[in-house]
Structure 1
Amino acid sequence: MNRRRALGALALGVAAPGVLAACAQAANKIEAAVESPPPAPTLAYSPAVASADVTPTAPVSVKVTDGWFQKVALTNPDGKVVAGNLNRDRTEFTTAEPLGYGVQYTWSGSAVGQDGKAVPLAGNFTTVAPAVTVSGQFQLADGQTVGVAAPIILQFDAAIAEEDRAEVEKALKVTTTPEVEGSWAWLPDEVGGSRVHWRTKEYYPTGTVVHVDADLYGVPFGQNAYGAADSTLDFAIGRFQLVKAEASSHRIQVLTDAGVIMDFPCSYGEGDLDRNVTRSGIHVVTEKYEDFYMTNPAAGYANVRERFAVRISNNGEFIHANPASSGAQGNSNVTNGCINLSLTDAEQYFNTAMYGDPVEVTGTRIPLSYADGDIWDWAVPWEEWKSMSAVSSEASALNLPSTAPATPTDAPVPTAAPGG
């Protein structure tokens, strides 16, 4: 044998046992891997099993690792199954509807592991039981058409502390088409209630469509109070109409996109007493009555029939017909604060007035304020208005009381059904 060939054969023969040893080790590892049991399914509940005081709108789910759900259900004590969805690979179940208050919910079903064995779902949790639920009501109706200055008012049937208002306000959303700048602001309300208003920076463009979401169910209101229900509101902005009312002119003008369409002589508040001053500022039309029987003890009259009365403030200010002041209309101010017109002129204006129309009063010594009732929104400068939002980082400079009446005690009141 050639020596080089012999050495080559020897070298080859030496290497062969090492290769065989490596193959044996790999085979042992494969055999060990095959013999290891697959991991059992692992379940993760949210909220955790046995949790208490769970918010009914909190995300609720159960996930499985190293397995898939064969069946899963969440039920209340009456056996009602909560609606929910499984993801595509059946590894996560998520509820698809809010839960109830003060209810215990129980998991059931099973998850199957890689070995084909089933693991049961079990456990329960309990939702929060409120001491009281708080309802909110809009002042506008679905489908209503309103004037360009109409605020959105959400009235609550409980007092909400300042520190709890941000959570409530975050649940409110206004969507306008076209987009319009606006802000919420919390205004003083009567004892036992709270209200928040949404107002635009400028008057709405005509034809604006407005949608409001108030997702209040499950929202904490403080003192273990929670929102009673969600609600929505849809309304539209109608034509543009504005009343210009300069007290020193003894006239009012009604303007639309076409310009001045009415220009009437009138009489404003006499101004001898504060209660007889027509307030300066942007008022908002809220009601109108063909007949309004009015009583005002402070002014010394009762059960007086007023015709074509358009309310512009809850302090008792109306634009209405008053033949008794006809001699002063156009030359002097003699009323108790209302804007008086002739019967013919009052009817003409009455027929065009709409909830939400702005009435801009100028030229008097007392401005419109919280003391004048529920809508004085436009008397507040825009930057100040925004600071009255509970989510604003700016402190409000207005020194407002915590409560204020929606209708001042010295305001004229109806003494019979309007129109009756």
Structure 2
Amino acid sequence: MGIRKRWAAAVVLTVGVLVAGCGGGSESATTAATEQQAKNVAVQVPMAVSTTPANGTEDASPAGPVKVSVTEGKLVSVALTNADGKQVAGAPAADGTSWVASEPLGYGKSYTWTGTAVGNDGKEAPITGAFTTVTPARQISGSLNVGDDQTYGVAMPVAIEFSAPVTDKASVQKALKIETSVPTEGAWAWLSDTEVHWRPKAYWTPGTTVDVHANLYGVPHGDGAYGSQDVTVHFTIGRALIATADTQTHRFVVTKDGQQLFDFPSSYGLESDPGRVTHNGIHVVISKSPEVSMTNLKYDYKDVKVPWGVQISYNGEYVHGYEGSRYAQGNENVSHGCANLAPENAKLYYDEVIPGDPVNVTGSSIPLSEADRTYYDWALDWSAWLAKSAA
């Protein structure tokens, strides 16, 4: 009799559980309990602190990134000090979950993290760790061809020349940036192991402002070499002054912002002598001087003074005044490679021209090339230019 009663009670209890599982009120209670359990689990997620570079790193780039990050908590204090105890400048994020160094580190130096973080659960944890920056086998510097706050012509390329050959060109190119006030399509091209240029696909838009950022410090240049410093510059593109030097019509025509400014008779390099031919293609004005001394011992002249010299290559090509060839200007080519103008005409062009202005030589038998040791950037078509990129 007692056995049967206990069995019946068990049945009733089981039924009660089954009924409760199907009832609406019980479901709400179960859901609420589940949500509370989830909240309890979320609160229990531990705080995690990470440092970059990672603790124990021995070859970190001094250029960074150098930071501390925390999840499920906030940073209370952070300090990064070198071996001499000097703190590195830095600042926390507004939300308190990270701190980033704001100055570059030194090469071959040791650094130590200290500080405190507090988790969402109120528990504190120390910030610790140490790392060492890389010691370069050598350092390579880069110099720009453009000056700060200067104005250049619409054909001006941006050139960076390095103090030693760069073998990791892709790494270096990633550290180079061009910012323009006018959308401008352009690209970097390596013209040698020590020189990289950026030029637009077409001439610059007049009035464009340009910022160059060569963030080379801490960047591997290959074979254990690293960049020695960052280089930045800001410049402006001026009006569009474009000269066309036609060796067949013997004219030198200059336009300014699309309007013809000058049409001068000219004489170019003697076409029967390859050593005297004015090279074909778009030259870029390099510099100018009121007087230039010309010497070419191969052709038996030395220290010949000519007025209003505008240099357009490093192979001896200038636009300049020359009274001695006035008879040939507009009629035949007799020079040793330069564009000869009457002195008064050369002065008019000289007064207008600035570095970066293009001089497009046409009709000549020898093309401008790398051998001219100059800005031959525009002698390459766009596909050939892009092929020289390391990206």
Bin the TM-score by the shorter chain: 0.7 to 0.9
Residue 55 (structure 1) aligns with: 61
The one of 169, 184, 190 equivalent to 1:186 is: 190
1:105 maps onto 2:91 in alignment:
no
| Residue in structure 1 matched with residue 337 of structure 2 by the alignment | 337
Instruction: Give the Å deviation of 1:114.
Output: 8.1
Give the equivalent residue in structure 2 for 1:351.
Answer: 351
Q: CA deviation at 1:44?
A: 3.4
Q: With structure 1 as the length reference, what TM-score do the two structures score? A: 0.78
The aligned counterpart of 2:367 is 367
Cα deviation, residue 67, structure 1: 6.0
How far 1:124 moved relative to its partner? 1.5
| Aligned AA (1:377) | D
1:163-200, Cα deviation, whole Å (9 max, x unpaired)? x1111111111122211111111113xxxx61111111
Counterparts in 2 of 1:57 and 1:294: CA distance versus 1, 3 Å: same
Counterpart amino acid of residue 182 in structure 1: G
Secondary structure of the corresponding residue to residue 248 of structure 1: coil
Q: Does 1:81 align with 2:87?
A: yes
Query: Is it true that 1:157 corresponds to 2:163 in the alignment?
Result: yes
Partner of 1:414: none
CA positional deviation for 1:69: 4.3
Q: What residue identity is the alignment partner of 2:143? A: Q
Query: Are the counterparts in 1 of residues 245 and 359 from structure 2 also a CA contact under 8 Å?
Result: yes
Amino acid at match of 2:380: V
Instruction: Classify 1:44/1:259 alpha carbon distance in 2 versus 1 (closer, same or farther; 3 Å).
Output: closer
Deviations 1:321-361 (CA, angstroms, capped at 9, x unpaired): 11111221121111111111111111111111111111111
5 Å matches for 1:20-419?
Answer: 43-63=49-69, 69-87=75-93, 90-111=96-117, 119-161=125-167, 164-188=168-192, 194-257=194-257, 259-391=259-391
Q: Are residues 105 and 246 of structure 1, via their aligned partners in 2, closer, same or farther at CA, if it must alter by over 3 Å?
A: same
TM superposition shift of 1:385: 0.9
Distance between the aligned counterparts of 1:40 and 1:336, measured in 2? Answer: 80
Count how many residue pairs are aligned between Structure 1 and Structure 2.
Answer: 357
Per the alignment, do residues 326 and 125 of structure 1 end up closer, same or farther by CA in structure 2, a change over 3 Å counting?
same
Gaps of 5+ in 1: 1-6, 20-37, 392-420
Q: Distance in 1 between matches of 2:45 and 2:384?
A: 62
Code of the residue aligned with 2:229 in structure 1: it is A
TM-aligned CA deviation for residue 62 of structure 1: 3.4
Question: Identity of counterpart residues, as a percentage?
Answer: 47
1:54-102 CA-to-partner distances (Å, cap 9, x unmatched) read: 1112333334567654432110112211123334565543333322211
Q: How far apart are residue 258 of structure 1 and its match?
A: 5.3
User: Contact conserved, 2:316 with 2:338, CA < 8 A, in 1?
Assistant: yes
Shift of 1:43: 4.4
Give the superposed CA RMSD: 2.7
Q: Give secondary structure in 1 for the equivalent of 2:275.
A: helix
Deviations 1:206-225 (A, max 9, x none): 11111111111111100111
Question: Would you say the 8 A contact 2:240–2:258 is kept in 1?
Answer: no
Q: Which moved more, 1:87-96 or 1:170-179?
A: 87-96
**AA aligned opposite 1:247:** T
**TM-aligned CA distance change 1:39 to 1:166, over 3 Å:** closer
300-309 or 67-76: bigger deviation: 67-76
State the SS of the aligned residue for 1:274: coil
Q: How much does 1:232 deviate? A: 1.5
**Aligned with 1:348: secondary structure?**
helix
Letter in 2 for 1:179: P
5+ unaligned residues in a row in structure 2: which ranges? 18-43
Deviations along 1:212-262, whole A, 9 cap, x unmatched?
Answer: 111111111001111112222211111111111111112211112352221
**In 2: Cα distance, 1:339 partner to 1:384 partner:** 28
CA distance in 1, matches of 2:346, 2:95: 71
Letter in 2 for 1:105: Y
Change over 3 Å in CA distance of 1:64–1:253 after alignment to 2? closer
Cα deviation for residue 125 of structure 1 reads: 0.8
Give the conservation status (yes or no) of the 8 Å contact 2:112–2:129: yes
